[in-house]
Amino acid sequence: MKTNIIEQLKASYHGVVTDLKDPKKNAKRSRKAKEFSLTFIRSILLIGLCFVILFPTIQQILMALRAPSDVNNPAVIWIPENWSIMNIKIASIVLDYRHAVFNSFKLSAISMILQMASTALAGYAFSRLKFKGSNILFILVILTIVIPPQALSLAQYLYFRGLGLIGKEGSIYLMSGLGMGIRSGIFIYIFRSFFKGLPKELEESAMIDGAGVFRTFWSVMLPNARGALVTVGLFAFVWQWNDAYYVKIFEVSTQQFPLLTMRLINAAENMYAALFYTGGLNLIGQDVWENPVFLALISNVSALLMMLPLLIMYLFVQKQFVESIERTGIVG
């Protein structure tokens, strides 16, 4: 019996050794180990960074879900004792949320489309339709990127006042459509570097097939620069949504046309007055609204409400960041 066990052990040991020496299996094993360690390191890294990003936001969300009377209850640290959406309700009244979201969305969407059109055309011209002096013109683009908007806004205001566009959305659309909107210079730069990166053969084969310059741009080059289109569209939308500078100077946000950013800034400056004028005070007792921490909390919740639509939108848009279109027939 004894020898039998030892022999069995020996046999299994032998089996393990031969197994370890098998180059095919070894390669497989090392590949698996590499894959595992990659996934492991990646997960730890990403989870850690996500935590760093999300930590303040989670804190704010949990505070937002407290009942207003619990705002500085020292017994509540993380999980609210009494869950309530009262804070969110009050904040949405202060922001005039439904109207403001609709208006902000309209303004951002239209100006996004205009910006994409004007900057894509200019970017294409600067990268693919070079002519004498186009590089000198491009220096102007760099200048528009570099100059701070403060340096130009006074003269721009006077100009728009002459046109009678102050207090109207048209001023923002005009800026976007003429490629002078929020960071349009950067967008032209992005389009230019993307179009530059496309192989020359694409253009040549389109030309040989008889496509004109515009046809080449519209049906060959533009679909290939989808990454740039998605990125520029996204940034144009988000920056317009978040913009408080131009909207303030051109006085776009009015009582009839409230915009999220201006509502938020005005409310944050004097939360008590904002609550008073919108009737938010009626929802809560005096002991609550006399508490400065409660007022600060409402302005935090309002900020959360402002970024919520963008986050939801991004969840859909991020699917567009997929693999590039197959460029069959061209070996770059």
Partner 1 sequence: MQETKKTPKLPIKLPEMSYKQQKLFWAIIFLLPWAVGILLLFLVPFIESLRYSFFDLTPQAGEIVKEFIGFENYRYALNTHVTSISSFRVELLTTTTDVLINLPVLLIFSLFIAVLLNMKFKGRAIVRAIFFVPVILNSAAVVSAVGGGEAINAILEQQGIDRIFDLEFYLLQTGMAPFLITFIVGLIERIYDILALAGVPILLFLASIQSIPKHLYEAAKIEGATAYEMFWLITLPNVTPHIITVTVYALVDTFLTSSVSTIISDELNQQNWGLSSAMAWIYVAVIILILIVLGAFAKLLKIGESHYEN
Cβ of residue 210: shortest distance to partner 1, in angstroms? 11
Binding mask 253-292 for partner 1 (x = CB under 8 A): -------xxx-xx-xxx-x--------------------x
In the bound state with partner 1, the residue whose beta carbon lies nearer, of 6 and 293, is: 293
Report residue 171 as tokens.
């001023």
d(CA 146, CA 65): 42
**In sequence order, which residues have a C-beta less than 8 Å from that of residue 116 and are 6 or more positions away?**
187, 229, 232, 233, 236
- 194 is a site residue for partner 1 (CB under 8 A): yes
In the bound state with partner 1, the residue whose beta carbon lies nearer, of 17 and 178, is: 178
Report residue 157 as tokens.
């205001």
Q: Which of 228, 253, 237 is nearest to 311 (CA)?
A: 237
In the bound state with partner 1, the residue whose beta carbon lies nearer, of 281 and 304, is: 304
- In this structure, are residues 185 and 144 in contact, taking their beta carbons and an 8 Å threshold? yes
d(CA 241, CA 259): 9
Cβ of residue 103: shortest distance to partner 1, in angstroms? 14
- 178 is a site residue for partner 1 (CB under 8 A): yes
- In this structure, are residues 65 and 87 in contact, taking their beta carbons and an 8 Å threshold? yes
- 24 is a site residue for partner 1 (CB under 8 A): no
**Sites for partner 1 among residues 136-165 (CB under 8 A):** 137, 140, 142-148, 150-156, 159
**Sites for partner 1 among residues 209-228 (CB under 8 A):** 212-215, 217-218, 224-228
Binding mask 51-90 for partner 1 (x = CB under 8 A): -xxxx-x-xx--x-------xx-x--xx------------
Q: Which of 123, 107, 61, 110 is nearest to 243 (CA)?
A: 107
Task: Map residue 85 onto helix, strand or coil.
Answer: coil
Report residue 197 as tokens.
């990166």
In the bound state with partner 1, the residue whose beta carbon lies nearer, of 8 and 135, is: 135
Q: Contacting partner 1 (CB under 8 A), which of 65, 100, 107, 122? A: 122
